[in-house]
Amino acid sequence: MAEPARKIDVIDARPDFTQADADALNARFEGVHASAMLKALFAEDDLGKIAVVSSFGTESAVLLHIVAEADRNIPVTFVDTLKMFPETLAYRDTLIHALGIKNTNIVQPDPATLAKMDENGLRWSFDPDGCCEIRKVEPLARAKASLNSWISGRKAFQSVTRQNLPRFEVEDGRLKINPLGDWIKDDLEAYFKEHDLPRHPLEAEGYLSVGCAPCTSKVMPGEDPRAGRWRGWDKTECGIHEDVTPLPDADDGGANDPIF
């Protein structure tokens, strides 16, 4: 008599979050202030392991203040590409101290990769996409590897490539939260004034969006706020923010219902 076939364990490899989860959250928090939204989400503790990713750019203080007011223990991750303005590094330290942020994490490019792919440090000048990949995208991917959710500072008004930005997206199975996605410049300015937040020292010089020093220039009157990034190149994003394709729900007999 033949032995019965061995039962193979089935591993549920479905992502932590699905598009249905994001849709439910977008509906639930429509019209709710970002501060109230984050306080509710942090209190419910259903986001898994989470962190804020901040560039410590010209608008970063608003999101960091809102997060800190909700929970100062939420980790804040900064990708130091080793091409940052000294003013940005100083501003990072200023905000961490001023806002009482208790948990920070700095990630940098892999030294072996830099030695192999950007030995002279000039890759930005002929291959900005490749430079961003090794100096920002890969380090951030390492930082996000253990996360279930992450918080981004993107806003729809910043660029035509960011229009129709939802508050909640799903990216590689992680929940990506854009608390300020529907804010406009006037909202940010009002918040800066109301809470007397420190400004990035380069903003007064005309740098309205600050990234790596070699690829950031001043913005002229009437230009898109991100026009000073990668000027002269057909490039608008560093690569850490990509178009999100909705993930299909798993056919698991109801397990794909929204978790919120």
Whether the pLDDT of residue 245 is over 50: the answer is no
Single out the catalytic residue among 132, 212, 215, 238: 238
96-132: pLDDT as tens digits = 999 999 999 999 999 999 999 999 999 999 999 999 9
Distances (CA, A) of 60 to 7, 18, 24, 76, 95: 52, 28, 27, 11, 9
The 3-class secondary structure across the chain, one letter per residue, is: CCCCCCCCCCCCCCCCCCHHHHHHHHHHCCCCCHHHHHHHHHHHCCCCCEEEECCCCCCHHHHHHHHHHHCCCCCEEEECCCCECHHHHHHHHHHHHHHCCCCEEEECCCHHHHHHHCCCCCHHHCCHHHHHHHHHHHHHHHHHCCCCEEECCCCHHHCHHHCCCCCEEEECCEEEECCCCCCCHHHHHHHHHHHCCCCCCCHHHCCCCCCEHHHECCCCCCCCCCCCECCCCCCCCCCCCCCCCCCCCCCCCCCCCCCC
pLDDT bucket at 163, cuts 50 / 70 / 90: low
Clarify whether 131 is annotated catalytic: no
pLDDT bucket at 38, cuts 50 / 70 / 90: very high
Confidence at residue 247, expressed as pLDDT on a 0 to 100 scale: 31
209-234: pLDDT as tens digits = 899 999 999 988 888 777 878 776 76
Residue 154 identity (one-letter amino acid): R
Q: Is 248 exposed, middle or buried (0-12, 13-18, 19+ CB in 10 A)?
A: exposed
**Between 161 and 64, where is the model more confident?**
64
CATH, range 19-200: 3.40.50.620
Confidence at residue 225, expressed as pLDDT on a 0 to 100 scale: 75
Whole-prediction pTM: 0.82
64-97: pLDDT as tens digits = 999 999 999 999 999 999 999 999 999 999 999 9
Provide φ and ψ at 193, rounded to 5°.
-70, -45
